[in-house]
Structure 1
């Protein structure tokens, strides 16, 4: 029920919005991820969310409950990072936290990915994992290029 309330809250007032893609000369892949440790009151499972940009365009996103119970916020965050690294590099998702940590470490050591801290004010992936103040939600939604359609020309 909490999921449904969160979805309705986010969708309300945005029925006419859609994902806009724009030409971009930037070919860098940038990902944001976040996890809400133990956010489901009934199961205490965490929610992982991520968004992946190619240049200025959002190309992939996800928000879902983690399949296993995380014993710490660090474990939940590592699972979130592993999910977005897997998505970004098109690898099959790993299943255990030990594999997640090794997977991420290997990609970092090879220089294939960099894991950086992003302050909450700029953590776009928060839109997929928790309720936000309206101004922050709208700012993040705009950053994802989810906007109303442009005015029609006659």
Structure 2
């Protein structure tokens, strides 16, 4: 094996190291996408998606479906350093088999947004805390509280595995893992063992959540909808809320002039 030194540029991703963390950017790659779409001098667009309506199969077929698929794949790779584009790009990829004019117009909007996002980078800070947000429901449950509680249990199971791995690597965590949930009943159930009517259908094997909470290893906190940062991956958002949630992903402007050098 050959030691190539600190990571600088790999697979169209530029890495800049500072004392506070690592800054990743895909400026050169984003510029190539604009050139491929022949939109290099386009005006940047602030809004990614129309929040009033969703894309559907309607519309006239595009004249160049190969270009559509090429741009969709390129934008998908760009989400590595711009995860805030993930939801919209995923929606565009749903119609790669039969792209229509409304899909192409939506893609042009994403490309225009990319033009305004070239200066943005993804930041990995050295003092990041381990957090895990429960998002999706994998199984059907009789009540919303029960399904939310199951999602909390799945999140805690995942973070517990990571904590055990870090402990084996002699890097234990000394603070409680924070798990956020937007269901008040599920938050109460994680700390209160007397919830018979709400928990009578829940299997015993997911009640380890209460043990973790009681031991101080986990804290289950309620998060209001306006702080539900996972929504940036699951729905179209108004611009103010979108920019607020994007900052929570550590996507921000580069503090160094060298981050976009490649």
Q: State the TM-score, normalizing by the size of structure 2.
A: 0.35
Q: C-alpha separation between the residues in 2 aligned to 1:138 and 1:111? A: 34
**Partner SS for 1:69:** coil
Partner of 1:81: 152
Query: Stretches of 4+ moved more than 6 A in 1?
Result: none
Matches within 5 A, 1:3-152: 6-8=87-89, 12=110, 13-14=113-114, 16=118, 18-24=121-127, 28-34=129-135, 48=136, 66-90=137-161, 97-99=202-204, 101-147=206-252, 152=257
Once the two structures are superposed, residues 96-146 of structure 1 have per-residue CA deviations (whole angstroms, 9 ceiling, x without a partner) of: 952564021121122210111122222223333444323212211111112
Q: Runs of 5+ in structure 1 lacking a partner? A: 35-47, 49-65
Question: Is residue 78–residue 97 contact of structure 1 (8 Å, CA) maintained in 2?
Answer: no
Structure 2 residues without counterparts, runs of 5 or longer: 1-53, 56-85, 93-109, 163-200
Q: Distance in 1 between matches of 2:234 and 2:205?
A: 20
Bigger fraction of residues in helix: 2
Cα 1:80–1:152 shift into 2, 3 Å: same
Over the aligned positions, Cα root-mean-square deviation in angstroms equals 3.8
Based on CA coordinates, which of the two structures has the bigger radius of gyration? 2
**Per the alignment, in what secondary structure is the counterpart of residue 132 of structure 1?**
coil
TM-score (norm 1): 0.55
Aligned residues: 117
Identify, as 1 or 2, the structure richer in strand. 1
> Residue deviations 1:12-44, cap 9 Å, x none?
3357555311233x6x4333334xxxxxxxxxx
